[in-house]
Structure 1
Amino acid sequence: MQVFKLKDILPSKVAGSFAGMPDFSACFQRSWREFRVFDLETCASSLDTAWELMDQGGMLAGDSVLCLEQTGGRGRMRRRWSSPRGNIYAALKLPVPDSTEMNRMLSIITGYSFQRALMARGIEVFLKWPNDLVVNSGKAGGILIEEKRGGILAGIGLNLKSLPDSRELRTGRLMDPVHLSGAWPEADPRTAWAELVYLGQFWYDNILCNYSLIDFISEVKPYLWLVNQMVRVEQDQIVLEGRLKGIDESGGIILDCAGHHKHIQTGTLLS
């Protein structure tokens, strides 16, 4: 394992391009210049490695684990996450929000923060509820929030150059995986991760420091995939159909089912 300061692997042109951004470190007592990246060639899971480091007192808010290859990655509902080399497989320790209501929105806030980081690259990205990053109607990445022992980690996977083996993909999936090699051809996992943490943490901190819950819900709505379109959602083996209206105050989605609004906190978006 190697340990880098984020500022040492962040491309200078990126830091220079956004040098005028406000610094919200006062909200969390730590500047991005102090963030560290624990870098591994191979690991079982970036999340598992991060939890081990946290148990040892070795990770602070803003620190992250980056594995160039995972042998036991996991996604939502503990589905296996195929992890070929060339992509980002990372776990980022998040500052704990002071607000309980914002804490319930962490998956959406984190997804939106990294979406905005990618948009700064000129990549059009949408959020698929509850935790996927969508590019060109395909899944480019996903985010998994884990909270325990007083800490919060965001597991983040992003397809930069390679795709999972098609034999490992879930049947009945809504979309196929895509990678970003066309939109971001020069990206390599280390420098791309540094850039995403730098910009993503800015948006994360900005939201928690300056946005009300209602403001954030309004902000994120235009970036939701399939918003204002008819969708189907599977919940507890029941399929509901309606028009996706947005996010509610608990991080669930609002579905307009023939004029009746249903609030769905857990489930799978089918179409």
Structure 2
Amino acid sequence: MPTALHMLTAGLADVAAPLSLDELDRSGFLGPLFESFGCPAGAQPGAFSAGQGGGCSHDGEWDVLELAAGNETLFLCGDATSSLDVARILTDRGALPEWGMVLVLSQSAGRGQLRRPWVSPRGNVYAALRLPADPPFTADYAALSVGCMLAEGFRTLGIPVQLKWPNDILLDDCKVGGILLEERAGIIIAGIGINCTFAPPVAQLRDGWAVRAASLLEKGYDLTPLALFASLVKNGRFWYLNEIRRAGHGAFPSCAERHLAWMGRGIVVHGGDVDDKPGRIAGLSSEGGLRVRFPDGERVILSGSIVPGS
């Protein structure tokens, strides 16, 4: 299914800076795979043939340059407070449908789990995805569901990521991505960050309770944010429609377990109901909780974080 690319040339309210084609080209977002969207890098407004877009429109405070036509919607923005802030405004204006995407160059107020600041320089994926109001995205394990969908997308690219329960993406036991969900008035939007070229140093991570961060580039995968994110959502959505929606959301835990990091390995649970207690991962419960075998028996963990045990 083709993706419609819309660039917010004049920015958006107080949350996104203006963005030009030249700046987008220089940002490293595009690369040769930009041509797969039907618009070569460096193209100018009006330079597209029929069916490829290229039109400019103005709607109140915002100007939109259509870079490519399609059935799925992806908004490209300049430097922003956060992709979630942009997505909320677009949703409130009726411009971001379910499965609609937002991708920003950088974030000045990115946020992670427990509202921690998210280091967000240019070169990585800082995205938002409006989720359908259907299970499993409306369940308690919604973040894990998004992670599983992205993991399936990575698998089609030959990148063997795993999911660190409940909302991190790992590659070779290093964090390369994370997910944050925000829900308002029944509308669920996932904030998604993926380290393409930059990873925060150890000093900026939670002391003792965070795995080392890494970029895809240092792991040997040279991917541009635009092509990577659009591909992950496209292929992940295909997995969701064919495996989860068709079989029923009850099939989700078994699908997610095949991507679960540290299965059978020793871990330490921090926070939640069991604080700083060692155990071994046994799998996922039907509610998406983490099944952990402790010396005194198995328990289902519904909150907290985990790190590998010694």
TM over 0.5: yes
1:160-205 CA distance string (max 9 Å, x none): 11122544222213311111114321x2112222212211222233
Displacement of 1:255 in angstroms is 0.9
Question: Of the candidates 129, 137, 148, which is equivalent to residue 184 of structure 2?
Answer: 148
Number of aligned residues: 248
Q: How does 1:208-219 map to 2 (within 5 A)?
A: 208-219=244-255
Asked if the contact 1:102/1:213 (under 8 Å) is kept, the reply is no
Give 2:228's aligned residue.
192
Displacement of 1:206 in angstroms is 2.9
**AA matched with 2:280:** R
- Alpha carbons of 1:88 and 1:235: their partners in 2 closer, same or farther (altered >3 Å)? same
User: For 1:85, what is the secondary structure of its paired residue?
Assistant: coil
Q: Which structure is larger by alpha-carbon Rg, 1 or 2?
A: 2
Name the Cα RMSD after superposition.
2.5
Matched, 1:262 2:299: yes
Percentage of pairs with the same residue: 32
Highest RCO, 1 vs 2 (Cα 8 Å, sep ≥ 6): 1
Matched, 1:252 2:289: yes
TM-score where L is the length of structure 1: 0.83
Q: Which runs of 5+ in 1 are unaligned?
A: 14-31
Query: Structure 1: how far apart are the matches of 2:235 and 2:157?
Result: 10
More helix by proportion, 1 or 2? 1
TM-score where L is the length of structure 2: 0.73
Matched, 1:176 2:212: yes
Question: Of the candidates 24, 36, 40, which is equivalent to residue 11 of structure 1?
Answer: 36
Q: Which runs of 5+ in 2 are unaligned?
A: 1-5, 10-32, 39-68
Asked if the contact 2:137/2:145 (under 8 Å) is kept, the reply is no
- Alpha carbons of 1:159 and 1:101: their partners in 2 closer, same or farther (altered >3 Å)? closer
Query: Structure 1: how far apart are the matches of 2:170 and 2:267?
Result: 16
1:101-158 CA distance string (max 9 Å, x none): 9622221111011111111111111100000110011000011122211111111100
Give 1:2's aligned residue.
7
Query: Structure 2: how far apart are the matches of 1:188 and 1:101?
Result: 27
Question: Of the candidates 103, 107, 113, which is equivalent to residue 76 of structure 1?
Answer: 113
**AA matched with 2:278:** E
1:51-94 CA distance string (max 9 Å, x none): 12112222101111101111110011111110111100000001
Give 1:49's aligned residue.
86
- Alpha carbons of 1:33 and 1:158: their partners in 2 closer, same or farther (altered >3 Å)? same
- Alpha carbons of 1:41 and 1:58: their partners in 2 closer, same or farther (altered >3 Å)? same
Matched, 1:105 2:141: yes
Give 2:130's aligned residue.
93
